[in-house]
Structure 1
Amino acid sequence: MKSLFSRLWLSVTFAVLLLLATLWQWLEYSQQYTQQRVQQSLHSELAEHMADINPMLASGVTADSALKEAFHDLMLLGPSFEIYTLDTAGKVIAYDAKEEKIQTQTVNLLKINDFLNKERLPILGTDPRGINHEKIFSVAKLIDPEGKHTGFLYVIIGGEQLDSWQTIVNENQAPTKFGVAIFFSILSAITIFTLFLKYFTKPLARLATDLSNIDVSNLTNGLALPIRYRGSREVNQLSRDINILLEKLSDQHQALTKIQKSKHDFLLHLSHDLKTPLTSLLGYQETWLHTPESERESKWIEVAYRSGEKLKQLLTQLLELAALENGKITPSLETVSLNALLSDLEQSFAPQAKTRKVKLAFKQTSDSIISTDVGLMRRILSNLIDNAIRHTPSGGLIDITLEKSARGSILKVRDTGAGMHIHELKAFNENKAESFSKESALPQLGVGLSIVQQLAALLNYKIDITSQPGKGCCFSLYI
């Protein structure tokens, strides 16, 4: 009973049966009402005529043994009538029936007055032979020769004998009428149900067909249902919601495809970065091992050592990047002196810069106090300075300056190295535009700049880069 089909079938069948039962009762009532009105209208003067043709009634007599015989003769001519005389208070006086037949001794005078005043028919009056039962009637006033009102001649239209014959007829016809009613009820229910089901489920059927025809393999170009569906508001809302879900699914697929491609490109760059120092390390060690001891040179060991250090640095950065991607690094803010931090970094990188014959110029300004995570800030600047030293040729310059702005401070790291190409800047800016999350695409610029980007996002720092090939780079960190 949880399916749409069964619920619709039950609902429509119940509604049809209820409608037919209501219609049946209304028709029965309408037929009875019309029949009573017609019969009472046709016999409205019946009591008056009976009173006129009978001498005793015409004289205003309401109680006499001879009246019973007169009533008997009149009722033989009209078996469906029951005749009574009433006093002025409505009490039953004379009638042609056994004593035990009379169940009510008083007739409602209000209904008699309504009839005599020509109120709208049908008017139902008291049936002396039935308890709490009313029937249509005809009534006439009985007036004696002196003009005194002595009572009423009260005629029930459709008496006990008519009721008995109608009961017999109804009992014989009831099975047939009931069977016909059941047959047409079931036929109507099935017909209406079929029409309702076809009407209501047609938009759903079209929606299901369109969903089954969607090419899931075409997620890259976007998915959408072809048309709007004519039907209920719920079906239209459902189609709109499905289109929204399909759009989100397509966007997520495109994002995943982009991330997959970025990771693939990143792994290619990373494998190259790892392969270069590893090849150098193994190459110089192999040369050392295959060269006679007297011909070995100490600089080979130095080069192999530097390659090993480079390999170690890359692996350390890779582990750090993995920790950032998994959300395992959280900032812990504290108040620090930026000048003190820059001075410490200048001393740390001085030997490396001297070896590569690159000049460091960390310009000190008035002491600037900032709220940051010292460790994360040091790693950002260390990666930028290390990257600048490695890409700046001998005789080059690397300077760090702190500039004030209306929104805070701008820390700029400049170098006079090889600079970055247009496609590298594009990759950097595209990756920067994405929000920092586990699903962010890996950059194509190496592990160091990837760490810089994600650490800056973790500290809510904006980072920009300007560069020209052969003229150097400038990284701007907005604190």
Structure 2
Amino acid sequence: MNSLFSRLLLSASLIVFILILALWQWFQFNQDFSRDQLQQSLHQDLALHMSHINPLLSQGITSNAALKEAFHDFMLLGPSFEIYTLDTLGNVVAYDAKAEKIKRLRVETPALRDFINGAELPIKGIDPRSHNSKKIFSAAYLQNADGKKTGYLYVIIGGEEFDMWQSLVSEHQAPRFWIGVVLASIVFALALFALLAKYLTSPLSRLEHDLGVLGSHKLNEGLSLPDEYRGSSEIQQLSLHINQLLERISQQHQAINRQQQVRHDFMLHLSHDLKTPLTSLLGYIDTWLLMPVNERNSDLIEIAANSGRHIQQLLSQMLELAALENGQITPEFKRVALTPLMQELVLIFAPRAKKQNVELDFDLSSNLFVLTDPQILMRVLSNLIDNAIRYTPAGGRITIKPLAHESEDLLYINDKPIWLCVSDNGSGMHKHELQALKQLKSKPKFNRTDVLPQLGVGLAIVRQLLGLLKCNIDIESVPGEGSQFHIELQQIK
């Protein structure tokens, strides 16, 4: 009974049964009305003829022992008739029946007068042998020789005998009637259900067929159902939602393909970054091993150690990048002073810069406070400085300083922003790297579903860390001349 088919069939059968029963009642009412109208019309002059035929009634006599015998003779000729005489007030005077059968001794005279005056039939009057039922009748005035009205002759059409035989016939016909009603309801309900099911399920069948056809298509072909489906609003909404879902699936599939391609390119780039120091490490170690023991130079071991540290740094950056992609790093914004941050950066990178003869020019005199996560900002600056040292030749210069920077597309309401500029005069950035980092300008909010740009690991980390800080960035770079990174920070007092 929980299936859609069963519930529809049961509902259709119940509705049809109620309709057939209502139609039968309406038909029965019309049939009884027509029958009463016909019988009363046929016997309309019955009481008038009886009053003329019987000598006593023709003289206006309403109460006489001989009347009972006359009534008995009349009722033998017509067993369905019951004859009464009434006085002018409608009180029952004479009749041919046992006294205990008479339940009401008075008949309402307005109905009798309406009948005699020719009102529209059928007209029902009180049945003296019943407490509350009314039946069709024939009536006529009784008048004496002087023409004075002495009462009424009142003839019930379809009396007690008629009711008894009719009830016997109904008892025999009732089972057949109800069996016929039930069978007709079931047959009609099945036919109606079949038509409705065909009409209502045809859009579902078509939808199922179209979905089966779409199953053989590829996701990158732009899947969608062919057109709108006629039928109920639910079917139309279902097809619309399926099309929206298919469009989203197609877009996500295309995004996954792009992400996989970019990841593939990124891994190729990363493998090159790892291969170079690893090859250098193995090459210098092999060279050192092939040399005679007394001629081995510690400089080769130092160069190999530097290559090993480079590999270690790359692996550490890869782990950091994986943590960023998995959403394991959450920023904690707070008030941070820039000067201590700069001093810590000097301590970290001064030895390496001195070794490569690169000057570090960090502004340590500013007394500025910004709203940021100090650890994440430290990682951003560390990666930028690390790249700058790597690609800046001897005698070069790396600077970090805050500066005023006006931007037309930014509106500041409370505190003014501060832009931290990280610049160098190294090899600069290529066009595709510059475009990848500039994506932050239009998409400052980091999304883990974003594809990785074709950058080195360090710059890829910078891109995602700045996304976590919701920072804007402006980049200027010319190959062979150097790069400038302008990072927007929110200044607070």
Same fold (TM over 0.5): yes
Cα displacement string for residues 391-437 of structure 1 (whole angstroms, at most 9, x for unaligned residues): 22333333333233463122222223333333333444458748524
* SS of match in other structure, 1:231: coil
Q: Which residue of 2 aligns with 1:447?
A: 457
Give the CA deviation at 1:37. Answer: 2.0
Pair 1:478-2:488 in alignment: yes
Q: 1:331 to 1:37 in 2, by over 3 A?
A: same
Cα 1:441–1:61 change in 2 (3 A) is same
Deviations along 1:335-359, whole A, 9 cap, x unmatched?
Answer: 2222442344245323322333333
Cα deviations across residues 191-217 of structure 1 (Å, max 9, x unaligned)?
111101111111111111111221365
Whole-angstrom distance in 1 between the partners of 2:420 and 2:114: 107
* One-letter amino acid of the counterpart of residue 460, structure 1: K
Pairing partner for 1:461 from 463, 471, 476: 471
Deviations 1:300-334 (A, max 9, x none): 11111211211121122122222222222222233
Is the Cα contact below 8 Å between 1:402 and 1:410 reproduced in 2? yes
Tell me which amino acid in the other structure corresponds to 1:462. N
Distance in 2 separating the partners of 1:12 and 1:183 = 14
1:132 aligns with 2:132: yes
Provide the secondary structure at the position in 2 that maps to 1:466. Answer: strand
Match of 1:423 in 2: 432
Distance 1:119 1:468, change over 3 A: farther
SS at match of 2:27: helix
SS, match of residue 40 in structure 1: helix
Q: Secondary structure at the match of 2:335?
A: strand
Aligned-pair distance for 1:64? 0.8
Instruction: Give structure 2 stretches of 5+ with no counterpart.
Output: none
Given that 1:314 and 1:447 are in contact with CA atoms closer than 8 Å, whether structure 2 keeps it comes out as yes
Contact 2:446 2:470 in 1 (8 A): no
The alpha-carbon deviation at position 113 of structure 1 amounts to 4.6
CA pair 428-391 structure 1, distance change in 2 beyond 3 A: same
What is the identity, as a one-letter code, of the residue corresponding to 2:295?
A: E
Change in CA separation of 1:47 and 1:403 when aligned onto 2, cut-off 3 Å: farther
Whole-Å separation in 1 of the counterparts to 2:305 and 2:121: 122
C-alpha spacing 1:222/1:466, structure 2 compared with 1 (3 Å): farther
- CA-CA distance at 1:34 after TM superposition: 1.6
TM-score in terms of structure 1 length: 0.91
Residue 267 (structure 1) shift = 2.4
Does residue 1:47 correspond to 2:47, yes or no? yes
1:215 paired with 2:215, answer yes
Which residue number in structure 2 is paired with residue 410 of structure 1?
419
Q: How does 1:269-348 map to 2 (within 5 A)?
A: 269-348=269-348
Alignment pair present for 1:436 and 2:446: yes
How do residues 14-413 of structure 1 correspond to structure 2 at under 5 angstroms?
A: 14-116=14-116, 118-174=118-174, 176-215=176-215, 218-363=218-363, 366-404=366-404, 405=406, 407=412, 408-413=417-422
Q: Deviations over 1:157-183 (max 9, x none)?
A: 122333344344445555554554444
- Residues 451/366 of structure 1: CA separation in 2 closer, same or farther (3 Å cut): same
Q: Give the AA of the match of 2:293.
A: E
Q: How far is 1:148 from its partner?
A: 4.2
User: How far 1:138 sits from its partner (Å)?
Assistant: 1.9
In structure 2, do the counterparts of structure 1 residues 272 and 137 end up closer, same or farther at CA, with 3 Å as the change threshold? same
CA distance in 2, matches of 1:32, 1:417: 111
Cα offsets for 1:102-130 (capped at 9, x unmatched): 33333234543554565543222222223
| TM-superposed deviation, 1:12 | 1.1
Deviation by residue 1:65-87 (Cα, 9 ceiling, x = unmatched): 11122223333443332211122
Shift of 1:50: 2.4
Aligned length: 479
- Cα distance, 1:114–1:385 mapped onto 2, change above 3 Å: farther
C-alpha RMSD of matched pairs (Å): 2.6
After the TM superposition, which of the residue ranges 365-374 and 12-21 deviates more from structure 2? Answer: 365-374
TM-score by length of 2: 0.89
Matched residue of 2:322: which SS? Answer: helix
Q: State the alpha-carbon separation in 1 of the partners of residues 216 and 432 from structure 2.
A: 32
Secondary structure of the corresponding residue to residue 213 of structure 1: helix
CA separation in 2, counterparts of 1:338 and 1:96? 126
Distance in 2 between residues matched to 1:277 and 1:134, nearest whole Å: 117
Q: Is the 8 A contact 1:431 1:443 kept in 2?
A: no
CA contact 2:338–2:366 (8 Å) conserved in 1: no
Return the offset for 1:236: 0.8
Moved more, 346-355 or 233-242: 346-355
Deviates more, 1:188-197 or 1:365-374: 365-374
* Worse-matched range after superposition: 112-121 or 328-337: 112-121
Q: Once the two structures are aligned, what percentage of the paired residues are identical?
A: 53
Q: Which runs of 5+ in 1 are unaligned?
A: none
